A and B are shown apart, each in its own frame.
Chain A
């Protein structure tokens, strides 16, 4: 069966990868909740993942908010529905664009950095060295990053929400001629807690997934500089795809009738 064999092979390979990732995830999560924990490592990663991502997330958010106001104005003015712009901006930013764009930007920044760092540690035997020093690499390297990702992404997205809405506000006031007080009032009145909460839940999921992908690909990298490069690419690509996939799933869970 020369046609069926490759299909079978790739199917098996696909499920092997799924199984490996699942086992890796279970093992890592179990180390997140069992002592000893490494608070110093968690703090360091929170700084690295959260604080140092602020500029890139802030810039992404402000321009997204600005362009959102501008584009919806072009569309909505045809129906004289300009007053819906504050609503559009705040719902789009908090529900979708804040978490997804922040997640993608942090995936590019953090998943890549994690994969490169852990991958280099793997190929230079630093991970083996950890084991010989009676320190479990899952506990010392991976658990702190997962915890930091899970905690910091919601905070980052909260900041992105505020800056994104601010971006929309600035464009609406200074180029589209909205009344500042009315705009703010509309924004505030239209915003529902569930919009923000669902966005923050997404952020936590993305934070977990993007650090997980960085760790998984870094931990399993092989074969020197080229292997580490490959791991970095795979980490960013798989993290981005998983962000879109989980975004759909979480949206369905929150908002599907």
Chain B
């Protein structure tokens, strides 16, 4: 997206974002920019506020202060109708899949098509089967219930659901957590392929470095509620940031101390 002045407006721009839960300051002034079409992966240990950051951007959580701009529009002060407009641009893959277990697989995938885009059910069903094929699932799974699928299959269905409405911005919350390494890299490959096909901007959070290297154009590391390093994925091994160094090498000793409480 290019503004009248000629410089390009970031797809997502976050300034000084703060959020506390009770006495715990989870986000303490996060600054982040994601260009259109870029895939940014945020890495960081458990309980460092990665999920909270994503939920703030989507609008599931309201920040205490700071600014979140999507396509140059401030979202933190938006009314419900504008927020709904913005929501149409989003697709999200949840950590546990978050499939609706009361609905069969195809209705999960076609949920946005039926409920939001008001597509006829028969058409939505055949569209859902096409999208399932894109994530490597046969048409037979369409009528199964999500509970009958393995974890990897559920992730794929969830990915299918999040790409079905052709979002402009995709969020991936720990896409490989709980999967074996092979299924993990299959999901990563599907994510890269889907994001490329959609031409979408992607924001992922993970603590799996192998996965981060496969998905990311850029990587940002969050620690103590702040972004402590960000740069292209090629530079991560040569940066002399002690936090990044400790994290990617998985060392117990270093500036990052284990937190017991979230």
Name A's B-contacting residues (CB within 8 A): 38, 117, 121, 124-126, 128-135, 140
Inter-chain CB contacts under 8 Å: number? 54
Name B's A-contacting residues (CB within 8 A): 55, 58-60, 84, 87-88, 90-92, 94-96, 98-102, 111-112, 115-116, 161-162, 165, 171
Cβ A129 vs Cβ B100 within 8 A: yes
A225 to chain B, nearest CB (A): 14
Cβ B55 vs Cβ A140 within 8 A: no
- A125 with B112, Cβ < 8 A, contacts A131-B87, A134-B84 known: no
CB-CB nearest in chain B for A126? B98
Cβ A133 vs Cβ B111 within 8 A: yes
| CB contact between B87 and one of A117, A124, A134 (< 8 Å): that residue | A134
Chain A residues within 8 Å of B55, by CB: 128
Cβ A129 vs Cβ B116 within 8 A: no
Question: How far, in angstroms, from A21 to B190 measured CA to CA in the complex?
Answer: 43
CB-CB nearest in chain A for B102? A117
Chain A residues within 8 Å of B84, by CB: 134
Cβ B115 vs Cβ A129 within 8 A: no
- A135 with B116, Cβ < 8 A, contacts A125-B94, A128-B94, A129-B94 known: yes
Question: How far, in angstroms, from A132 to B92 measured CA to CA in the complex?
Answer: 7
A255 to chain B, nearest CB (A): 42
Chain B residues within 8 Å of A125, by CB: 94-96, 98
Cβ B87 vs Cβ A129 within 8 A: no
With A128-B60, A131-B59 already in contact, 5 other A-B pairs whose C-beta atoms are closer than 8 Å: A125-B98, A128-B94, A129-B100, A132-B91, A132-B92
Cβ B100 vs Cβ A132 within 8 A: no
Chain B residues within 8 Å of A140, by CB: 115
Cβ A132 vs Cβ B87 within 8 A: yes
Cβ A133 vs Cβ B98 within 8 A: no
B155 to chain A, nearest CB (A): 13
Cβ A135 vs Cβ B60 within 8 A: no
Interface centre among A117, A125, A132 (most CB of B within 10 A): A132
Interface centre among B84, B91, B99, B100 (most CB of A within 10 A): B100
B32 to chain A, nearest CB (A): 19
Cβ A133 vs Cβ B165 within 8 A: yes
CB-CB nearest in chain A for B167? A132
Question: How far, in angstroms, from A132 to B170 measured CA to CA in the complex?
Answer: 11
- A134 with B100, Cβ < 8 A, contacts A125-B94, A125-B95, A140-B115 known: no
Question: How far, in angstroms, from A134 to B102 measured CA to CA in the complex?
Answer: 18
Cβ A129 vs Cβ B92 within 8 A: yes
B169 to chain A, nearest CB (A): 11
Chain B residues within 8 Å of A126, by CB: 98-101
A23 to chain B, nearest CB (A): 15
Chain B residues within 8 Å of A133, by CB: 111-112, 115-116, 161, 165
Chain A residues within 8 Å of B58, by CB: 131-132
Question: How far, in angstroms, from A166 to B187 measured CA to CA in the complex?
Answer: 62
